[in-house]
Amino acid sequence: MPDRWVTFDCFGTLVDWHTGYANILRDVAGDRLPELLAAYHRHERHAELDRPHRKYRDVLETALRRAADQIGLTMTDEQTTALARQWGTQPVFADVEPALAGLRALGYKLGVLTNCDDDLFAATQESFRQPFDLAITAEQVKDYKPAPTHFRRFFRVSGVEPDHWVHVACSFFHDIGPAKQMGVKRVWVDRDKTGEDPTWASVRLDDATGLVGAVRGQMGT
């Protein structure tokens, strides 16, 4: 039987970046943390569009610096590198490892399509009980989701048959949209309750506790 693959967006889906970013930046921003984070996420999307392509650790620093400037928060050069330096400290959601174990027990191969760099994902992968079978990073494809480049590279590298591939993600913008456009079956783990159209997903879940059943349903197994 051909390999059956489940791919994931990592940050927001498997790793709790909300808690991770807050823990890293709380000492820097103090009571202005929510304001800084909101500005950061606006600037991150723009920094990812800069050309030529910049590595994600540069995106992190640039977006954080621009966000701080926007809200009038003074940050040192060392403080603007805090996200990259402490990247591996971000926690994995409690419901993730049981889901991953359940998928592996059924014989699925597991991959990650992430907007971070090779070294940053390597640090993150240390937080998981087992390594993933394949990771496609922004550093490898020189592009950032929601561009479809990660998906196209995964399709080429894995040799997956379309009927044997399900993509799992929290981010509607970065993942569910492009996966839909490419015809990839997709499970939306809507942790952030952002209110987008659930019909864009093959299945919508509140969290990862029902993930194994959702994937089996999409795979027809």
The mean per-residue pLDDT over the stretch 6-35 comes to: 97
Structural domains of the chain sorted by starting position, each given as residue range(s) with its CATH number in brackets: 5-16+91-219 (3.40.50.1000), 17-87 (1.10.150)
**158 — pLDDT class (breaks 50, 70, 90):** very high
What is the full DSSP assignment across 87-112?
A: GGGPPBPTTHHHHHHHHHHTT-EEEE
Provide the sign of the torsion angle of the four alpha carbons 157, 160, 162, 165, taken in this order.
negative
Q: How many angstroms separate the CA atoms of 87 and 210, rounded?
A: 28
Q: How many angstroms separate the CA atoms of 155 and 160, rounded?
A: 6
Q: What is the pLDDT of residue 1?
A: 77
Percent of the chain with pLDDT over 70: 100
User: What would the pLDDT profile of 50-92 be if each residue is shown by its tens digit?
Assistant: 999 999 999 999 999 999 999 999 999 999 999 999 999 999 9
Are the C-beta atoms of residues 184 and 150 closer than 8 Å to each other?
Answer: no
Q: What is the pLDDT of residue 159?
A: 96
pLDDT, averaged across the chain: 97
